[in-house]
């Protein structure tokens, strides 16, 4: 299967924009509470960012290891199996996935406290780091 370098670059650019948006909200939240619309925007950007990381990981697993993963839920296990992430990265990815799932599946409850602490730690920056690492891995083939 052929790589789609335009898609890879577009995904990276999109992730970079989402991270910038999250950074803006993270900075603002330190000085004043976010409005309901801003909180929803942060949740949406966070969900998209984590989903894009998982989709890119699936793409890498398929193109680098010839390993087909059918669902996003299987991605982390496959990355660990192929020793494609460190233990710490695996732990962080798991935390990002869990938070995304809480926001996605339990959207009526207040999960913003959890998201707010994830923003404060800037955990989402890992997505951009991994995308660069995985792109380099694909380039080395």
Taking the C-alpha atoms of residue 30 and residue 34, their distance in angstroms, rounded to an integer, is 9
Domain that holds residue 109: 5-139
Shortest CA distance to 97 belongs to which of 121, 124, 130?
124
Shortest CA distance to 48 belongs to which of 27, 74, 19?
19
CATH number assigned to the domain comprising residue 59:
1.20.120.580
**Alpha helices per DSSP H over 32-86:** 36-65, 75-81
Structure tokens at 42: 């942060």
Structure tokens at 50: 């984590």
Question: Taking the model in full, what pTM does it have?
Answer: 0.87
Total domains, the chain: 1
Tell me how far CA of residue 38 lies from CA of 12, 35, 109, in angstroms. 23, 5, 17
Task: Read off the pLDDT of residues 86-134 as tens digits, 9 standing for 90 and up.
Answer: 999 999 999 899 888 888 887 666 667 777 877 777 888 899 999 999 9
């Amino acid at each position: 299967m052929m790589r789609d370098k335009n898609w890879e670059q577009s995904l990276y650019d999109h992730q970079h924009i989402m991270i910038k948006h999250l950074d803006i909200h993270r900075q603002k939240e330190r000085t004043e509470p976010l409005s309901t619309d801003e909180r929803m925007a942060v949740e949406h950007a966070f969900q998209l960012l984590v989903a894009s990381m998982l989709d890119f990981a699936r793409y890498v697993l398929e193109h680098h290891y010839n390993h087909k993963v059918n669902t996003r839920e299987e991605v982390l296990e496959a990355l660990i199996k192929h020793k494609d992430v460190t233990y710490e990265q695996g732990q962080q990815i798991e935390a990002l996935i869990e938070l995304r799932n809480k926001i996605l599946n339990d959207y009526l409850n207040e999960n913003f406290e959890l998201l707010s602490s994830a923003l404060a730690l800037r955990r989402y920056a890992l997505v951009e780091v991994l995308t660069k690492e995985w792109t380099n891995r694909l380039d080395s083939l």
